[in-house]
């Protein structure tokens, strides 16, 4: 059913031709694009949630950098004394 709807779109012909030039099945290529798009949406959502949490915590970027540096230094010093 969806394939019939797609074949009616002028853009589909261009997409199909581009997929064939790359020796790919147009339907599986479209499926890959859709999967990647959905993954990017989830990544953006997670990124926005992290940004929101960081803003609410009161930490800024410099604080985060300092915390990471401090952690790495403590971890390095901990290994040196072991």
Judge whether residue 52 has pLDDT over 90: no
Within 10 angstroms of residue 27's Cβ, the number of other Cβ atoms is 13
Is pLDDT above 90 for 26? yes
Domain that holds residue 39: 2-81
3 state DSSP class of 50: helix
Mean pLDDT, rounded, for 19-24: 94
Residue 65 has which token pair?
């950098």
| Mean local confidence (pLDDT), 23-40 | 94
pTM: 0.57
pLDDT at 34 over 90: yes
Is the Cβ–Cβ distance between 6 and 12 less than 8 Å?
yes
| Domain total of the chain | 1
Flag whether pLDDT at 71 surpasses 50. yes
Q: CA–CA separation, 82 vs 76, rounded Å?
A: 10
Percent of the chain beyond pLDDT 70? 90
CB of 13 closer than 8 Å to CB of 26: no
CA–CA distances in Å: residue 22 to residues 25, 53, 60 = 9, 43, 46
């Amino acid at each position: 059913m969806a394939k019939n709807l797609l074949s009616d779109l002028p853009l589909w012909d261009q997409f199909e031709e581009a997929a064939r030039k790359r020796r790919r099945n147009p339907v599986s290529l479209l499926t890959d694009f859709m999967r990647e798009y959905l993954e990017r949406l989830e990544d953006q959502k997670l990124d926005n949630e992290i940004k929101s949490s960081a803003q609410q915590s009161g930490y800024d970027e410099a604080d985060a950098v300092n915390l990471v540096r401090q952690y790495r230094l403590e971890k390095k010093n901990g290994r040196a004394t072991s």
